[in-house]
Structure 1
Amino acid sequence: MAGRAQRAVGGALALALLALAADGAVAQGTTDLGLPPASGSQNPVLPPPSGSQNPVLPPPSGQRYLPGVGGRFGGDADGPGAAIRPVPSAPRPGSGEIGVVGTVEPAMKSPDGGALDRLADIAPALRRCWTPPAMDGPESGAMATVRFSLRRDGSLFGQPRVTWQTQNTESDLRRRFTDSVVAAVRSCTPMRLSPQLGAAIAGRPLSIRFHGRAPSNERPI
């Protein structure tokens, strides 16, 4: 009988301890937080779709930004068919390029044929070999810049290259005009250069501007 009483007392104590533990858990304010949200439900901030950043692209090859001249890149409008006005390139520092040293016009006179002593004498000397194409009408005209190099003896070093031309000229006339400019440089070389001028410009690129226009019927006053 004593053993049964002891077991009954032990069981009552165990139940009391369990009750006290449950009450302590409630008293501590524990909360069931549940399971974490399903994957992807956090609404992450994704980057904008590709191409929506509106990147600022550089101008197409061969076009320059000309502030205050027509469109964004020097044209008359911003549309895809806008005309681009070419700009003569300036000599790069340290490149040895001389730059534009003169202008050839149909009305200018050629020198007598002696040795050339100055850079300014090269353009008039080329006039003797230049046959510009025929131009009709008071509004007809064309311009082009040709770049070339000479050796010390006045012979052509490399090939002449047209680096600038007017774009508002009719395409066929523009082609014939640039062909005549290149032909003039080839026909007039070798040029008679003085020893001093030949040593100064040997191998250095220089440019000549050719300006052609229709003859005027007006008489000088």
Structure 2
Amino acid sequence: MAPPARREAGSEALTRAFPRGVIRGVNSVHEVNAPIELFREWFRDAEAGEVNDPNAMSIATTDADGLPDVRIVLLKGFDAEGFVFYTNSRSQKGRELAGNMRAAGALHWKSLRRQVRFRGPVEHVTDAEADAYFASRARDSRIGAWASLQSQPLADRAELEAAVARESARFGDGEVPRPPHWLGYRVRPVYVEFWTEKPFRLHDRLIFTREKPEGEWDRKRFYP
């Protein structure tokens, strides 16, 4: 008997079949005049329906040569001013942001078949904001922020664990303050895109743009 035909792992193998039917638009977008309104609604849906880390987002930066870099971080706050995350300013992304305070981000909620993209200039959150969030973290996470030389070479796991033990002993039962190099960053978007997956690649795309972070939003739909 001849062996079954081999199926290549190409684009056809990765294509998902959709049932035929009416393609509906994104609900309520016609009444939305600012992206934060829709983002707040979508984020509530993600918190209710996404299995793991609904606040996981990619953040893209560029190095001194213009080479892009991207990684997953956690969204720790959002409002009309922008999207906030925290990191070690001596890390790769921290150094890249120091050289170019612009970034792009994306949140993809696979179970909801939705995605939000944004980009814009970046600013530091206030020390009071950073202190308040740092104080809310688990004690071991705060100690880890002191122990980790983020993005620097590490000989082995034992070296990291020894650094954690040293910092833990240094602070004892006392307070663990925020390291001066542990900062909050706010991306102030000038572009926000809401994407909803639809059958046969006829996706919904709603785009908000403005000239500067203090400007008025313009809203358009784009072809998928």
Q: Do the structures match in fold with TM over 0.5?
A: no
Question: Could you tell me the TM-score, scaled by structure 1's length?
Answer: 0.21
Normalized against structure 2, the TM-score is what?
A: 0.21
Larger Rg: 1
When you count strand as a share of all residues, which structure comes out higher? 2
